[in-house]
Amino acid sequence: MRMNTLRVALLGCGVVGSEVARQMTERSDDLSARIGARLELAGVAVRRTGRDRAASGISPELFTTDAAGLVERDDVDLIVEVIGGIEPARGLILSALERGKSVVTANKALMADDGYALHTAADKHGVDLYYEAAVAGAIPLLRPLRESLAGDHITRVLGIVNGTTNYILDQMDSYGSGFAEALEEAQSLGYAEADPTADIEGFDAAAKAAILASIAFHSPVTMSDVHRQGITDVTSADVASAKAMGAVVKLLAICELAPDGDAVGVRVHPAMIPRTHPLAGVRGAYNAVFVEAEAAGQVMFYGPGAGGAPTASAILGDLVTVARNRIGGVTGPGGSWYADRRVHPMGQTSTRYHISLDVDDRPGVLAAVATVFAEHGVSIETVRQRTERPDDAELVVVTHKASDEALTATVAGLGRLDTVRDVMSVMRVEGG
C-alpha cells in the first residue's frame, strides 16, 4: 500500500526542534513533491507544556509531556529526536526502532557513545537511523563519507568541527586577544554557552570525531577511544609563535589510519597548521572537514557548523530520505563495522611538535637541550632562540615526526635540566 501521509513525532522543541516544525510547515509542498507523500506533525514532546509556544506556529494540542507514549503511538511513522544527551533520548530512540519507526537524530553524544548498539537495533528492525545533523550542522558530511566515498579508501579525516572554539582561536589570532577575553566575547555573542566546558575542553569535538572515525573506517569508535585535549591552555604566546612560523592554531579533530592500516587513531587537540592549508582559512564559528582518500585525493566540506536553521536543514534532508525509504519499503545503508579496526594507542601516534622553553641565556644551553631530544630519538627540525631580557631566553623547537611517547619522555627530561626554567608550551604541528 502506498502511503499518502507520513506522520512525524518531534521529540524536543528547543531552537532546533521549533525550526524543524516551522520548515516542515512552510515548505510542505516542496517536501511532498520530493518525498511523494505529505509529512504531518503527529505530536511534539516537551518537558513542560503550558509555556507560551504560540511563536512556534505549532497547534497547542500537539504538545505532550509523554514522549514515551508519543513514540509508541500507532499513528506515528517517523521520529525526529532533538532532545540531546544520553537519557531519555536513548530509550526513546530504541523504543521507536523496536516499533519499526525510522529515526532522525541530531544527538552527537548519544551516537558517539551508542552508535553501534543503535545501528544494530535499526538494522534488526529494518528501519533507518540517520544523523547528519550530529556533525558539522548543515554541511553534508556523513552521507558523502558513507555513500559518495564508499568506493574509495579513506586514510584521514581532519576537521574543525566545533564553531565555539574556532571563534575563540580566530579572535586570538586576528586581534591578539587572550583566551579568557576571547571566551568572554564568544559568550556575549552567544557563540559560547554560560558553561562552556563541553566546547572548550573538546568534549563536543571528541564526540563528532568518534562518529566520523566510525563511518570513515567502518569500525566502532566511541568517545572513550578519543584522545582529547581542549583549548584552555592555549596562550596568546602560542598563537603569536604559530604566526611567526606562518601557522595558525586550530582545534582539530583528527581520525586516521595507523601506518599499518589495521588501527584507527582518533584525537582532538589544538594544533598549529600552515596558513596555506585550506583549514587555516576557516574563520569565526564556521566548520570545515578535510578528507584524504586514496583515489579521490583531498576533498573539503565547509559551512556553518551550528545554529537552528542549518541544523534543521540537515535534519530535514535526512527526513526526506527516511520518508522516501519508508514509502519504498527499503532502508538506506546501515551501520558498517566490517573492518573492525582496533584503536591505535595515542603513545604511538606520531606528529611534529612545537615546544617553547624558558631557558637561562648562557653557553651550553642549546647543547643540553639538544642532547635530551637526541636521547629520546626525537629529531629536531628547527630551533629559534629569542632573548628578551638579560640572562633569560626563549627557545622554540620544532621537531620532525615523533611519537607521543617519545615526546612526553623528552619533555620530562627537559624539565629536569637546570638550565630549563620552564617548558612553556608543547603543541602539535599538523597539515604539513
Question: How does DSSP classify residue 110?
Answer: H
CA pair distance 6, 323, nearest whole angstrom? 7
For residue 19, say whether it is annotated as part of any ligand binding site: no
Of the candidates 420, 174, 142, which has an alpha carbon nearest to the alpha carbon of residue 301? 142
Catalytic residue numbers read 208
Beta partners for residue 392, in sequence order: 360, 389
Report residue 207: phi and psi, to 5°: -60, -45
Residue 261, sorted as left (phi over 0), alpha (psi -120 to 50) or beta, turns out to be left
* Stretch of 120-128, 151-159, 266-274, 356-364 lying at the interface with a second copy (CB under 8 A): 151-159
Least spacing, CB of residue 145 vs a second copy, in Å: 8
144 binds a second copy (CB under 8 A): yes
> Where are the strands (E) in 182-285, listed by range?
227-228, 247-257, 263-274
Look at strands 263-274 and 402-403 and give their pairing.
Answer: unpaired
For residue 69, say whether it is annotated as part of any ligand binding site: no
Helix (H, G, I), strand (E, B) or coil at 53: coil
CA pair distance 234, 237, nearest whole angstrom? 8
Of the candidates 215, 93, 90, 95, which has an alpha carbon nearest to the alpha carbon of residue 154? 215
Residue 50, sorted as left (phi over 0), alpha (psi -120 to 50) or beta, turns out to be left
State which of residues 50, 151, 190, 364 lies at the interface with a second copy (CB under 8 A). Answer: 151
Nearer to a second copy, 116 or 301 (CB): 301
CA pair distance 177, 182, nearest whole angstrom? 6
For residue 161, say whether it is annotated as part of any ligand binding site: no
Contact by Cβ (8 Å): 75, 43: no
303 binds a second copy (CB under 8 A): yes
Nearer to a second copy, 37 or 312 (CB): 312
Residues 34-73, interacting with a second copy (CB under 8 A): 34
* Stretch of 146-154, 199-207, 229-237, 343-351 lying at the interface with a second copy (CB under 8 A): 146-154
Q: How far is CA 224 from CA 84, 214, 215, 253, 263, in A?
A: 19, 13, 16, 14, 15
* Stretch of 52-60, 70-78, 168-176, 334-342 lying at the interface with a second copy (CB under 8 A): 334-342
State which of residues 149, 245, 366, 417 lies at the interface with a second copy (CB under 8 A). Answer: 149
For residue 343, say whether it is annotated as part of any ligand binding site: no
Match 621537531 to its residue by C-alpha cell. 399
Contact by Cβ (8 Å): 287, 137: yes
Nearer to a second copy, 69 or 333 (CB): 333
For residue 396, say whether it is annotated as part of any ligand binding site: no
> Where are the strands (E) in 189-334, listed by range?
227-228, 247-257, 263-274, 286-293, 297-304
Helix (H, G, I), strand (E, B) or coil at 226: coil
Nearer to a second copy, 144 or 345 (CB): 144
Contact by Cβ (8 Å): 351, 428: yes
77 binds a second copy (CB under 8 A): no
143 binds a second copy (CB under 8 A): yes
CA pair distance 168, 410, nearest whole angstrom? 30
Residues 209-228, interacting with a second copy (CB under 8 A): 218
Least spacing, CB of residue 184 vs a second copy, in Å: 26
For residue 91, say whether it is annotated as part of any ligand binding site: no
For residue 13, say whether it is annotated as part of any ligand binding site: yes
Question: What x-and-dash track marks residues 338-377 binding a second copy by CB under 8 A?
Answer: xx--------------------------------------
297 binds a second copy (CB under 8 A): yes
Least spacing, CB of residue 272 vs a second copy, in Å: 19
* Stretch of 5-13, 27-35, 223-231, 421-429 lying at the interface with a second copy (CB under 8 A): 27-35
Nearer to a second copy, 53 or 218 (CB): 218
Size of the site for a second copy (CB under 8 A): 56
Least spacing, CB of residue 27 vs a second copy, in Å: 6
Task: Using CB under 8 A, list all residues that contact a second copy.
Answer: 19, 23, 27, 30-31, 33-34, 132, 137-140, 143-144, 147-153, 218, 278, 281, 293-304, 307, 309-310, 312-321, 324, 328, 330, 333, 336, 338-339
Question: Which segments are annotated as binding site?
Answer: 11-18, 108, 193
The annotation places the binding site for NADPH at 108
